[in-house]
């Protein structure tokens, strides 16, 4: 999975959670979206959680990720590793991908 947008922009991504082509409608205690410089790092660059409103459960296996300009304003252009982790009692499933921050001309300081 690749997520690509201009650094410092608002980004929303809706997605349907599926496993073996079946929609997963389980109830999760937490969902994490974690971004790191690369997967080997211990510290994350930024993280969104369902419990803090960064990920919304829209029902029927559909979710929306919300990335705010402040999440990426200070980051360098380029690629970062990320994953979504879905957690429930006795269950944890992780899906990995790449976040690509593209160039912007109007920087935060120019707004």
Candidates 88, 93, 83; CA nearest to 19 is 93
Alpha carbon distance 89, 87 (integer Å): 7
Alpha carbon distance 55, 95 (integer Å): 15
Evaluate whether residue 51 is within a structural domain. Answer: yes
Evaluate whether residue 65 is within a structural domain. Answer: yes
Q: What is the DSSP letter of 110?
A: G
Tell me, what's the pLDDT at 76?
95
Evaluate whether residue 106 is within a structural domain. Answer: no
Residue 63's DSSP bridge partners are 15, 57
DSSP 14-34: EEE-EETTEE-----SEEEEE
**Judging by DSSP bridges, how do beta strands 91-102 and 30-36 pair with one another?**
unpaired
- Domain hosting 39: range is 2-101
Evaluate whether residue 108 is within a structural domain. Answer: no
Number of domains in the chain: 1
pLDDT in tens, 38-75: 999 999 999 999 999 999 999 999 999 999 999 999 99
What is the CATH classification number for the domain harbouring 41?
2.60.40.10
Evaluate whether residue 77 is within a structural domain. Answer: yes
Reduced to 3 states, what is the DSSP secondary structure of residue 94?
strand
Which residue is listed with tokens 């389980």?
A: 26
Q: How confident is the model at residue 18 (pLDDT cuts 50, 70, 90)?
A: confident
């Amino acid at each position: 999975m690749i997520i690509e947008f201009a650094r410092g922009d608002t980004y929303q991504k809706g997605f349907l959670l599926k496993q073996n082509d079946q929609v997963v409608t389980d109830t999760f205690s937490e969902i994490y979206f974690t971004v790191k410089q690369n997967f080997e790092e211990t510290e994350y660059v930024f993280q969104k959680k369902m419990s803090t409103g960064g990920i919304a459960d829209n029902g029927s296996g559909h979710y929306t990720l919300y990335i705010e300009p402040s999440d990426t304003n200070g980051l360098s252009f380029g690629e970062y590793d990320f994953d979504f982790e879905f957690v429930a009692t006795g269950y944890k499933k992780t899906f990995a991908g790449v976040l690509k921050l593209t160039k912007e001309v109007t920087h935060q300081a120019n707004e």
